[in-house]
Amino acid sequence: MNAKVCASIFLLVTGLVWGGLAVSIRSIHFNDLDRAKDALEAADFYCLSDGQDGQMRSGGFIVGRDPLVWENVSQLCKVGKMGPRWKNKAWVTLGDSELGILFTAPDDADVRAWGNVIIVGERSFLDDVEAALHRLQRRN
């Protein structure tokens, strides 16, 4: 791992802990959004790009239990309270991208680091996502 990635992860984790967000680092690891999206879809979750054109960019994507519509997920507020629109959804982004280091997330969100990929959402939903990914790992 290069020094830039190490420094970014250190700053991310330090900032999130000081910011009062729950951070947990699991055995799940992805280097990029495409691999994370592929694994999540293989685990039967739906993924939708942050961009209206559907292209995966470093900004990230939304993952959910049910099919996602861009007009609905584009309304998800990533600052302040999560609110009911976040139920069974999470934001997946890079810890180190041209957009910079993740520095904000909804107030009551749980944050998990999966290598260079960060997922933000309700704790119970993130637990379910990780359990599904662990099951997928065991099958493969």
Bridge partners for 92 per DSSP: 61, 119
CA atoms of 71 and 112, how far apart (whole Å): 26
Q: What is the pLDDT of residue 67?
A: 92
Cβ(112)–Cβ(119) under 8 Å? yes
Mean pLDDT in order along the chain per 10 residues (140 residues): 46 45 63 93 93 72 90 74 84 71 66 90 94 90
Contact between residue 62 and residue 93 where contact means Cβ atoms under 8 Å apart: no
Check: CB of residue 8 under 8 Å from CB of residue 101: yes
Q: pTM, whole model, 2 decimals? A: 0.74
